[in-house]
Amino acid sequence: MHLTKSEQQIMQIFWQADHAMAQTEVVATCVDRKWKERSIFSMLNSLMEKGLLREVGFVRSGKTYARTFEPAMSQAEYLAQVINERLPAAELPELLSFLMQKYETTPQIQKEMRAALRENAQ
């Protein structure tokens, strides 16, 4: 699954948010970008088609109503899907080894990782 740079930026906004958002709120959140309303509309629809966003309701926006969206998958799920599409299963141990070297893991995180491995081995 490929995301454009703009789609990645939009998804980061959604992954960091703690609530569903309408298109206008997405634009207001990303002040360093000057997206046109039509561009945002197209990107939101593209992200829904890719299965990353889902429509969850409506909010009042002026005299009309606007759709609200939330992530359909977490950032971790998205990254796992990207890795799944690009990395052969035989290279997973090496990937995990590199990740363990790059991140400081607490005993709790290590315990959760072992539990996840055991759960998926069954």
Give the domain ranges of the chain: 5-71, 88-121
Residue 57 has pLDDT above 90, yes or no: no
Q: What is the mean pLDDT of the segment spanning 47-66?
A: 87
**Tens digits of residue pLDDT in 38-55:** 788 899 999 999 999 999
Average pLDDT, the chain: 87
Stated as kind and residue range, the H or E segment containing 43 is helix 37-49
CATH number, domain 5-71, options 3.20.20.120, 1.10.300.10, 1.10.443.10, 1.10.10.10: 1.10.10.10
Scanning the structure block, which residue is given the tokens 């039509």? Answer: 38
Tell me if residue 4 falls in helix, strand or coil.
coil
User: What does the alpha-carbon distance between residue 78 and residue 15 come to, in Å, rounded to a whole number?
Assistant: 11
Q: How far is CA 46 from CA 3, 57, 112, 119, in A?
A: 9, 18, 34, 34
Q: What is the mean pLDDT of the segment spanning 25-30?
A: 81
* Cβ atoms 47, 7 nearer than 8 A: yes
